[in-house]
Every structure is written in structure tokens, then in C-alpha cells.
């Protein structure tokens, strides 16, 4: 239960700091967050020296979702973050990776679901995520 509580608190703090600093004014912010979140399993696979290819493939799918969301469909970023939360909960049933800490799936899923819902809210209320930088 503690990993879930800490994950929720961390997600709220991340979203708050992104708002206060205006980092989330650019649609690429949460896309980058999704890419980084997805690569943690690759790190764990490298630490355990197993399931590296499978974890890279999954991280690549989430990276493509993040890029497509950042370039074309911002709502896809929020959906992708939530889907990663679902993946966290199913990870142990799909991929065997002993490098993943026991507490990680619940921790990461709680962050992902809270942030994903927040990003969808921002997208639906047109709060900055649809803005394309002027130098693009």
C-alpha cells in the first residue's frame, strides 16, 4: 500500500511542479515523461541481464505513442501514460524480469494512472498541451 500512496503523492507533486514552472505548457513535456517511464523496465532488464529485447520492444511502442501524441494527437499521451500503468500491473504476467523491484509495479502504476488522467484533463480543457512551440 505504501508504494501506491507514495506514487500518488509523487504524481501530484510532479503535475503541480510542471504547472508552476510552466514546463507542461509545451506538449512535449509529458511525452518525454512517458518515454522515460517506459525505459525504466529496460534499465531493470539490463541490471538482471534478462528480457532486454522484450523490454526494449515494449519501451519502443510507448515511445512511438509519446512521439505521435506530441506531434499530432496530444490526447494519445495521456492514454499512453494510463496504458503504461495498466502494463505495470500486468508486467509480471507478460515478461519475466527479475531486475524489477517487488514494489515497482504498484508504485509506477499509481504514478502513471494519476498523471495520465491529469494529462487527459489538460488536453480536454485545452490547457497548454495543444500548443506547438513557435520555433517548430
Residue 128: band (very low, low, confident or very high) from pLDDT cuts 50, 70, 90? low
Give Cα separations from 22 to 18, 42, 56, 81 (angstroms).
Answer: 6, 30, 31, 20
Say yes or no to pLDDT of 136 above 50: no
> What residue segments make up the domains of the chain, in order of their start?
2-124
What does the mean pLDDT of the chain come to?
Answer: 91
The Cα 136–Cα 12 span in angstroms is 30
Give per-residue pLDDT as tens, 9-57. 999 999 999 999 988 888 899 999 999 999 999 999 999 999 999 999 9
Q: What would the grid cell of residue 135 be?
A: 520555433
Q: What would the grid cell of residue 97 be?
A: 524480469
The Cα 120–Cα 19 span in angstroms is 15
Specify the pTM: 0.87
Question: In 3-state terms, what secondary structure has residue 8?
Answer: helix
Phi-psi map region of 51: left, alpha, beta (phi>0 left; psi -120 to 50 alpha): left
The Cα 35–Cα 50 span in angstroms is 21
Angle between helices 2-21 and 104-124 (to 10 degrees): 40
Amino acid at each position: 500500500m505504501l508504494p501506491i500512496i507514495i506514487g500518488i503523492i509523487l504524481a501530484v507533486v510532479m503535475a503541480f511542479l510542471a504547472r508552476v514552472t510552466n514546463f507542461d505548457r509545451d506538449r512535449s513535456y509529458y511525452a518525454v515523461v512517458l518515454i522515460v517511464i517506459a525505459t525504466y523496465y529496460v534499465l531493470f532488464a539490463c541490471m538482471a541481464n534478462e528480457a532486454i529485447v522484450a523490454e526494449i520492444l515494449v519501451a519502443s511502442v510507448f515511445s512511438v505513442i509519446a512521439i505521435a501524441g506530441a506531434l499530432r494527437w496530444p490526447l494519445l499521451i495521456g492514454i499512453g501514460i494510463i496504458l503504461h500503468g495498466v502494463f505495470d500491473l500486468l508486467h509480471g504476467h507478460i515478461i519475466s524480469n527479475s531486475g524489477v523491484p517487488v514494489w515497482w509495479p504498484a508504485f509506477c502504476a499509481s504514478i502513471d494512472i494519476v498523471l495520465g488522467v491529469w494529462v487527459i484533463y489538460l488536453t480536454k480543457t485545452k490547457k497548454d498541451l495543444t500548443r506547438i512551440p513557435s520555433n517548430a
